[in-house]
């Protein structure tokens, strides 16, 4: 999770004082790196996933499943391999926000060979095994997006106590001791976010109103040490949460891609942006918060609210006096602009930015669209700063840039190459919820990687106005959005703007071909089934990926593996296979201990996690019929004629390398 600097964290007052310093030098560092690296090209496709796990401890006598706070010890153990063989280890392990979380990635990124898709899942399974062998008796790693009873009673092992009067979070639910203790970054972030905001964060999630849920639903927090703030703040009919841990203590699934050059990375950033809400909805896995069934299926808004450090002035609740901007979103939110100049007309929401820094960037030779993106990230204050890192060499260091960049937690992240490294321009796809099994996680990751290959090979275009992407983001959270809701999507994905066009446009600095008329005719509302599986008017993402696969050399094993993954994605989109969120919801509401009052009791929590553990160990997915062994091609009804005709003219490369023939 972001930059883990060594040293002594500064207080919020000190950090705030250095805000301008960090921004000024961060911008300079970006300009310097950009100049050095902008023409870096011919990098090959590398990509890798990140899976976050929770450590759960069962007590089969008491029937409890608690969060085990031994990530520190477990990480020491897991990182041995990396330390012993820095060049060659199967997995890489990093701490995450909570003391019950660990993050695992493959030891090395994957490359452009399709055969790599054969090892994604086994590497994920291996990671789970590695954690398992580092754990104590009755402890297991679960890739759960949200732990159902986070912040309720004694939810941790060992037991911890809240300290509402003192400490970093001052939460009445989530003890500071639950935050990962092995690095000061996490506590510092929690404290500084609270202090910057001028009070505790406020997370309000609509409760799922069942037959016996009190109406209005209003909780009494007095026994938890509430000084009146919670009672005042909590909205009726909402699950109220009061600290960063409720969001950053959720797990997720991310994918990072290396592009062949900066233009391709900007293009991938743009093409994946409209997919963020779509994949959030398709991966929805988190219906329960603080012991209650909620009315949402996905975590994103919970994290967004959990680190929303905007002041009242920035929120527009008070007149701007001390702060510089009114800001429309949390620092953890969906992106506000596309990065390629060619998609300028689709940037239809106000991009709040620091004009001085934007001018500085443009003076430094950065084009307007990129300058605006960076100047937008830089409206934020640094919220964690280490005294040893204050003075840097802007020619070589990038810590100040990374400081602001890595605390803008957006759906997509544009990652410049680190200084003096072999790593190229990358983008990170960040919206997805982590799935329970390695099979499912491998399926989602594989689908996204293949989709980017189809985009680059065929010049597919998914871009719609960014305001519509935001609307989709709201829709994506809704209960059972996959089956019940419609999403804005581009009607014609076979655009004129191929990667080559984009490259030309970038090179000339002028994009006259792009007209902003009739944008509203370019998109429509579709069901998830239509988006993924196609309709009479739309080819469907899965058939497009299959077409791509048909056009490259692929061995039968890999093909079979991939077909299994696509089948899961297809079934989730059509509703034939429930999302994890739906499975969890059904499990809770059908449990004998469930009293139709939205409460997820300790016993339900135990039985649910126990089941998840057994299923993920034995058959690796909650419902097993997704695994089919047939080696036949499509059985999904598709509207392929248009796609086929178009794609026949194109000639993708045999290997899964980049689209640009640079
Ligand atoms: P974060 O920015 O989230 O901390 P990391 O840099 O730790 O992300 O890595 C995220 C993923 O990127 C990992 O799966 C890793 O294997 C992968 N990765 C590492 N190097 C590259 C590269 N050159 N190109 C693409 N992905 C890479
Ligand atoms: Mg992480
Ligand atoms: Mg990441």
- Residue 459 vs residue 597, higher pLDDT: 597
Give the per-residue pLDDT at 616: 78
Give the per-residue pLDDT at 131: 96
For residue 433, pLDDT over 50 is answered with: yes
Tell me if 649 is assigned to some domain: yes
Q: How far apart are CA 621 and CA 113, in angstroms?
A: 26
- Any idea which ligand is nearest the CA of 658? 1
Q: Tell me how far the alpha carbon of residue 92 lies from the centroid of ligand 2, in angstroms.
A: 12
Residue 425's SS3 state is coil
Tell me if 169 is assigned to some domain: no
- Any idea which ligand is nearest the CA of 92? 1
Taking a C-beta distance cutoff of 8 angstroms, is the pair 92, 107 a contact? yes
- Residue 614 vs residue 303, higher pLDDT: 303
Question: Which residue reads 């469930």 in tokens?
Answer: 594
Looking at ligand 1, which atom is closest to the CA of residue 107?
Answer: 16
Give the per-residue pLDDT at 347: 96
Tell me if 650 is assigned to some domain: yes
Tell me if 652 is assigned to some domain: yes
Q: Which of 519, 504, 469 is nearest to 345 (CA)?
A: 519
Q: Averaged over 492-518, what is the pLDDT?
A: 63
Tokens in use for 477?
Answer: 């959270």
Taking a C-beta distance cutoff of 8 angstroms, is the pair 581, 588 a contact? no
Count Cβ neighbours within 10 Å for each residue of 446-484 and write b for 16 or more, e otherwise.
bbbbbbbbbbbbbbbbbbbbbebbbbbbebbbbbbbbbe
Considering only 62-66, 633-637, 641-645, which range has the smallest mean pLDDT?
Answer: 633-637
Dump pLDDT digits (tens) for 579-625: 999 999 999 999 999 999 999 999 999 999 999 998 875 444 444 33
Q: Which residues contact 249 (CB under 8 A, 6 or more apart)?
A: 97, 98, 100, 101, 147, 150, 174, 178
For residue 242, pLDDT over 90 is answered with: yes
Give the per-residue pLDDT at 42: 85
DSSP 171: -
Looking at ligand 1, which atom is closest to the CA of residue 94?
Answer: 7
Task: Tell me which residues have their CB closer than 6 angstroms to ligand 1.
Answer: 46-50, 105-106, 109, 256-258, 423, 426, 428
Tokens in use for 279?
Answer: 């994949």
Taking a C-beta distance cutoff of 8 angstroms, is the pair 358, 345 a contact? no
Considering only 227-231, 337-341, 447-451, 614-618, which range has the smallest mean pLDDT?
Answer: 614-618
Q: Which residues span the domain enclosing 648? A: 565-661
Tell me if 51 is assigned to some domain: no
Give the per-residue pLDDT at 630: 28
Q: How far apart are CA 449 and CA 565, in angstroms?
A: 12
Give the per-residue pLDDT at 497: 55
Tokens in use for 434?
Answer: 């982590």
Considering only 21-25, 46-50, 501-505, 569-573, which range has the smallest mean pLDDT?
Answer: 501-505
Q: Tell me how far the alpha carbon of residue 430 lies from the centroid of ligand 3, in angstroms.
A: 7
DSSP 206-240: EBP--TTS-SS-----GGGT--SHHHHHPPTTEEE
- Any idea which ligand is nearest the CA of 417? 1
Taking a C-beta distance cutoff of 8 angstroms, is the pair 257, 268 a contact? yes
Whether omega for the bond prior to residue 216 falls within 30 degrees of 0, making it cis, is yes
> In a 10 Å sphere around its CB, with 0-12 CB exposed, 13-18 middle and 19+ buried, how is residue 47 labelled?
buried
Q: Tell me how far the alpha carbon of residue 413 lies from the centroid of ligand 1, in angstroms.
A: 12
Taking a C-beta distance cutoff of 8 angstroms, is the pair 179, 186 a contact? yes
DSSP 268-331: HHHHHTTHHHHHHHHT----EETTEEBSBS-SHHHHHHHT----TTTTTSS--SSSS----S-S
Tell me the Ramachandran region of residue 100: left when phi exceeds 0, alpha when psi lies from -120 to 50, beta otherwise.
alpha
Give the per-residue pLDDT at 507: 63
Tell me if 587 is assigned to some domain: yes
For residue 475, pLDDT over 90 is answered with: yes
Nearest CA residue ID for atom 13, ligand 1:
48
Helices (H), 38-141: 71-78, 80-84, 117-134
Dump pLDDT digits (tens) for 213-223: 999 999 999 99
What average pLDDT does the chain have? 91
For residue 101, pLDDT over 80 is answered with: yes
Give the per-residue pLDDT at 87: 86
Considering only 4-8, 371-375, 567-571, 623-627, which range has the smallest mean pLDDT?
Answer: 623-627
Q: How far apart are CA 4 and CA 69, in angstroms?
A: 20
> Phi and psi for 294 in degrees, rounded to 5?
-100, 180
* Probe residue for ligand 1, chosen from 2, 5, 103, 109 as the CB with the greatest number of ligand atoms within 8 Å: 109
> Phi and psi for 281 in degrees, rounded to 5?
-65, -40
Count Cβ neighbours within 10 Å for each residue of 334-369 and write b for 16 or more, e otherwise.
bbbbbbbbbbbebbebeebbbeebbebbbeeebbeb
Give the start-end residues of each E strand in 143-189.
156-157
Dump pLDDT digits (tens) for 378-420: 999 999 999 888 999 999 999 999 999 999 999 999 999 999 9
* Probe residue for ligand 1, chosen from 48, 272, 413, 428 as the CB with the greatest number of ligand atoms within 8 Å: 48
Nearest CA residue ID for atom 6, ligand 1:
256
In the structure, what pLDDT confidence band is assigned to residue 660 with cuts at 50, 70 and 90? very low
Tokens in use for 606?
Answer: 């135990």
Q: Report the percent of the chain where pLDDT is more than 70.
A: 89
Cα 488 from chain centre: 20
Tokens in use for 69?
Answer: 């706070």
Dump pLDDT digits (tens) for 194-206: 999 999 999 999 9
Give the per-residue pLDDT at 633: 33
Q: Directed axis angle between helix 117-134 and helix 556-574, to 10°?
A: 80
Give the per-residue pLDDT at 86: 87
> Phi and psi for 60 in degrees, rounded to 5?
-75, -20
In the structure, what pLDDT confidence band is assigned to residue 117 with cuts at 50, 70 and 90? very high
Dump pLDDT digits (tens) for 119-149: 999 999 999 999 999 999 999 999 999 999 9
In the structure, what pLDDT confidence band is assigned to residue 494 with cuts at 50, 70 and 90? confident
Q: How far apart are CA 342 and CA 502, in angstroms?
A: 7
Give the per-residue pLDDT at 81: 86
Tokens in use for 641?
Answer: 């004629």
Tell me if 634 is assigned to some domain: yes
In the structure, what pLDDT confidence band is assigned to residue 487 with cuts at 50, 70 and 90? very high
The neighbourhood of ligand 3, an ion, using CB within 5 A, equals 50, 254
Give the per-residue pLDDT at 499: 54
Nearest CA residue ID for atom 21, ligand 1:
109
Taking a C-beta distance cutoff of 8 angstroms, is the pair 297, 480 a contact? yes
Give the per-residue pLDDT at 292: 98
Q: Averaged over 366-371, what is the pLDDT?
A: 97
Tell me if 452 is assigned to some domain: no
Please tell me the total count of domains within the chain. Answer: 1
Q: Which residues contact 105 (CB under 8 A, 6 or more apart)?
A: 48, 49, 50, 51, 91, 92, 94
For residue 629, pLDDT over 50 is answered with: no
Give the per-residue pLDDT at 518: 83
- Any idea which ligand is nearest the CA of 93? 1
Whether omega for the bond prior to residue 69 falls within 30 degrees of 0, making it cis, is no
């Amino acid at each position: 999770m972001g930059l883990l600097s060594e040293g002594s964290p500064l207080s919020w007052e000190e950090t705030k004082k250095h805000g301008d310093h960090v921004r000024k030098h961060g911008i300079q560092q970006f300009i310097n790196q950009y100049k050095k690296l902008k023409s870096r090209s011919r990098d090959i496709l590398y990509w890798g996933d990140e899976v976050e796990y929770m450590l759960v401890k069962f007590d089969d006598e008491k029937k409890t499943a608690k969060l085990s706070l031994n990530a520190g010890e477990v990480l020491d153990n897991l990182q041995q391999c990396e330390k012993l063989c820095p060049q060659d280890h199967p997995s890489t392990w990093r701490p995450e926000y909570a003391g019950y979380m660990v993050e695992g990635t493959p030891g090395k990124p994957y490359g452009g060979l399709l055969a790599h898709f054969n090892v994604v899942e086994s590497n994920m399974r291996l990671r789970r095994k590695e954690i398992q062998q580092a754990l104590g008796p009755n402890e297991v790693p679960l890739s759960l997006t949200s732990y159902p009873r986070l912040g309720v009673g004694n939810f941790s092992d060992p037991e911890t106590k809240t300290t509402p009067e003192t400490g970093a979070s001052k939460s009445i639910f989530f003890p500071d001791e639950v935050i990962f203790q092995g690095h000061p970054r996490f506590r510092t972030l929690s404290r500084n976010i609270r202090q910057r905001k001028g009070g505790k964060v406020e997370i309000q999630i609509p409760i799922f109103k069942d037959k016996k849920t009190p109406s209005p639903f209003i909780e009494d927090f007095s026994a938890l040490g509430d000084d009146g703030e919670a009672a005042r703040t909590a909205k009726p009919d909402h699950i109220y949460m009061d600290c960063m841990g409720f969001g950053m203590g959720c797990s997720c699934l991310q994918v990072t891609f290396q592009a062949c050059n900066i233009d391709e990375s900007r293009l991938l950033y743009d093409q994946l942006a409209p997919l963020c809400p779509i994949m959030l909805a398709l991966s929805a896995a988190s219906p329960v918060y603080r012991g209650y069934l909620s009315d949402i299926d996905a975590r994103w808004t919970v994290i967004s609210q959990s680190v929303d450090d905007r002041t009242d002035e920035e929120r527009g609740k008070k007149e701007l006096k001390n702060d510089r901007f009114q800001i429309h979103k949390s620092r953890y939110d969906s992106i506000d602009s596309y990065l390629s100049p060619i998609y300028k007309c689709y940037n239809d929401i106000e991009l709040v930015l620091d004009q001085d820094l934007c001018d500085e960037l443009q003076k430094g030779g950065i084009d307007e669209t990129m300058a605006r993106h960076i100047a937008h990230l830089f409206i934020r204050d640094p919220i964690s700063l280490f005294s040893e890192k204050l003075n840097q060499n802007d020619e070589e260091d990038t810590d100040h840039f990374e400081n602001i960049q890595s605390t803008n937690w957006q759906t997509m992240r544009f990652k410049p190459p680190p200084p003096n490294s072999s790593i190229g321009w990358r983008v990170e796809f960040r919206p997805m919820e982590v799935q329970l099994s390695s099979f499912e996680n491998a399926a989602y990751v594989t689908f996204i990687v293949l989709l980017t290959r189809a985009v680059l090979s065929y010049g597919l275009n998914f871009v719609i106005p960014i305001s519509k992407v935001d609307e989709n983001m709201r829709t994506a959270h809704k209960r059972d959005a996959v089956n019940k809701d419609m999403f804005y999507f581009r009607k014609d994905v076979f655009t004129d703007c191929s990667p080559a066009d984009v490259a030309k446009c970038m090179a000339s600095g002028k994009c006259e071909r792009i007209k902003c008329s009739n944008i509203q005719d370019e998109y429509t509302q579709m069901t998830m089934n239509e988006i993924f599986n196609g309709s009479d008017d739309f080819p469907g993402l899965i058939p497009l990926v299959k077409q791509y696969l048909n056009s490259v050399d692929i061995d039968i094993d890999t093909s079979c593996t991939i077909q299994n993954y696509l089948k899961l994605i297809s079934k989730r989109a059509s509703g034939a296979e429930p999302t994890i969120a739906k499975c969890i919801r059904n499990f809770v509401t059908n449990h004998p201990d469930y009293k139709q009052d939205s409460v997820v009791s300790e016993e339900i929590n135990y039985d649910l996690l126990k089941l998840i553990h057994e299923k993920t160990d034995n058959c690796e997915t909650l419902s097993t019929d997704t695994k089919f062994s047939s080696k036949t091609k499509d059985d999904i009804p598709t509207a392929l004629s248009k796609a086929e005709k178009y794609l026949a003219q194109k000639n993708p490369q045999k290997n899964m390398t980049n689209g640009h023939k640079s």
